[in-house]
Chains A and B, each alone.
Chain A
């Protein structure tokens, strides 16, 4: 009779009448079963759908985002910004373009000390066919706390949210052992793809989506675009797509890369397109930052 239990579990978990359909047979936090679960054939098993509602996901996600840097005492990272300013068709390699790459070293120390040192930049102008390299001594400091929310959480009232997708992702080991050994399923993650759209037809705010890992309620990835309403419409035609990827460094999810494309209005001598790619490199979390960086400002 005990051989029936896995079958029953399969029935219960996958039944669209009892729970929403899962793409894979894995245990997820939205429909938990205790590890010492025992049942005989004929037992009534009381279950309820614990899958989080959109409101719960947003609330937990906002809380987790606020706490994202709570364990960070100091942080050092390097920004590499690559920009392509293009006149004409980007697919045409003969189009005039200006290529720029800028590298900046950044430091942060809790609670609110930040220091930025641009290291230098290089630029290539296809019209002049020459590359210029500048080493920069510009610096800046700021009273900044690393607890800022993504913009769509800062102005919740300006967006409508909806769950676009729910996806179960398993580790490779779990993927191989699923169905035979439930121990591998512990590594499975349930991801929610949540779309946000501006509530107003007049707001120059983007629409897009973000991906939430419900094991930690962290935002792992988000994308957005400005279509109908763009900021500075006299100059900007549209921002087609901006992709923000995150990865975990020392236990902290940081923006790893921001890439996007800006289309500009057709104005005489103005470029038609700007492409940018901003990457975070050499991230060091809680490895110490020299006091001398902040001493000069006495902050």
Chain B
């Protein structure tokens, strides 16, 4: 995260790290995978007690929005979650809480924000995986709307009680908050490369919803959706930073201990210079992500560009660095029992979700007026 943290931010970082090392290390993700369980609910609620999910909800709903620096603080937590390849729905719950706090109706806020903050309710953010809104369509219907279509690769949709759906009516975007058990909604779990992350396909077959499901203004959600995407990209980039940071740490330890030809392998320039290069790129990832978090939090004019820049850099170099960390481990890195594949799976998954680096390069061209 940012090179200079406030006292509060350092506390948040330390308490999150200590909690995760104790309650949810990589071995916990491993256990979830082998038991095919979805989430350690108890650990999730304890995380909520630490304030993870309260950053965007106002105090009236048990949140900390007034005193927290939403996107910046959430990015600090996301980075820590990345270090242990955490399996839970931090990102979607944060983005949906952010959306509701910003544009939800009083009834929606009243009904959901406190329970989201307490970790008792889970929400999924149904945003098209390719970062282009509009895979779900909406038509006005008597007393509300009808949703049709599907969204591929929605994080933690199986766990969710609520879905925040972005739908297009012609060219305009609207957003709806719907209960997952609404008739016509089906959630199909997908087989995921990142085995510590659950993704699902969510289908909407003639789903009829009331007008009270609308978040913000009908056909006027484009700016809301953009800001949610920015926050999602910042949290994803921060998570990737944590993933790289930790993988590089244990790979460095290994290179200092593993001896070949009478020397620690980290003393060979063929290895040492690669580590130096990785450290440089990791520093860039931290700098770009910290800036993007602040820009998104401040609603700066360059927040959209900053989020895409952080995404492109962290995704591209994150995968590259961790692939090389695996290489430096040699044969042991190819085994199921070594943790590094969890890190690499998460990095590769984050690279593809919500726009590949190339998609964001195109987006940057658009933002520059090309």
Chains A and B belong together in one complex: no
Chain A residues with CB under 8 Å of chain B are none
Chain B residues with CB under 8 Å of chain A are none
